[in-house]
Amino acid sequence: AQSVTQPDIHITVSEGASLELRCNYSYGATPYLFWYVQSPGQGLQLLLKYFSGDTLVQGIKGFEAEFKRSQSSFNLRKPSVHWSDAAEYFCAVVPILTGGGNKLTFGTGTQLKVEL
Amino acid sequence: NAGVTQTPKFQVLKTGQSMTLQCAQDMNHNSMYWYRQDPGMGLRLIYYSASEGTTDKGEVPNGYNVSRLNKREFSLRLESAAPSQTSVYFCASSVQGDSGANVLTFGAGSRLTVL
């Protein structure tokens, strides 16, 4: 079945430490890939996206993500986490289908806690 | 520039009551969406409207109806609310991107509690 998996429900890191949030997808072909962030009580904000080309994509707030076709993964990284990065992070995909159909499907999210 | 505006932000209903969640966007986007967010389940698509005049079911449409009133507005109606519809509802909009890839802009959410 087609799916998006974020295996880590909660992650805690110390401020200044590096961060990697995992995302795996299961689709027949490489979908379009996104990372969104949700701060408490807020809507979702796009961090970055991958459509094609360079497999390392840069986003806002110092985040980057690397697409690895062989692993069906699109992991989100940040070299040094700030306390303001505490939020919930969602990986999302749009399957590339012929004949239309481009609905965004979200993973279940990873809650990031930052210890000072 | 307000982006996507949802009303109300909070609502408490009794089982069987009806209500409508309103959504408006001022970005001249073609497509609009309603999602619900539940703990441990991420966001699930309820209904979407690819363009003015069209609506389609998403993953969890049962118990909901929608109306794309015009290009700006997309409302979600609960005809007979049930406790299982307690959730946070998000409206979103997008310009139909290249090759169909949609970058969504989200509203701040509407928290609905059904007693």
> Which tens digits make up the pLDDT trace of A37-90?
999 888 899 999 998 888 999 999 999 999 999 999 999 999 999 999 999 999
Q: Which of B42, B100, B109 sits opposite A106 (nearest CB)?
A: B42
Assess contact for B25 and B72: CB atoms under 8 A: yes
For residue B1, what pLDDT is reported?
65
For residue A100, what pLDDT is reported?
43
The whole-chain average pLDDT of chain B stands at: 91
**A103, A57, A61: which is closest to A81 by C-alpha?**
A61
B19-34: buried (b, 16+ CB within 10 Å) or exposed (e) per residue?
bebbbbbeeebbbbbb
Closest-CA residue of B relative to A111 is B40
**Burial label, A77 (beta-carbon count in 10 A; 0-12, 13-18, 19+):** middle
Beta-bridged to residue B45, according to DSSP, are B35
How far is A16 from chain B, CA to nearest CA, in Å?
28
How far is B71 from chain A, CA to nearest CA, in Å?
19
Assess contact for A42 and A31: CB atoms under 8 A: no
Residue A101 has pLDDT above 80, yes or no: no
User: Are A42 and B108 in contact (CB < 8 Å)?
Assistant: yes
User: Are A103 and B106 in contact (CB < 8 Å)?
Assistant: no
User: Are B48 and A103 in contact (CB < 8 Å)?
Assistant: yes
Residue A98 has pLDDT above 60, yes or no: no
Q: What is the DSSP pairing of strand A73-78 with strand A19-21?
A: antiparallel
User: Are A45 and B106 in contact (CB < 8 Å)?
Assistant: yes
**Residue A95's pLDDT band (cuts 50, 70, 90):** confident
Residue A97 has pLDDT above 90, yes or no: no
Q: Residue type for A68, please?
A: K
Tokens found for residue B103: 């970058």
The residue ranges of chain B whose pLDDT is under 70 are: 1, 97-101
Q: Residue type for B80, please?
A: S
Residue A99 has pLDDT above 50, yes or no: no
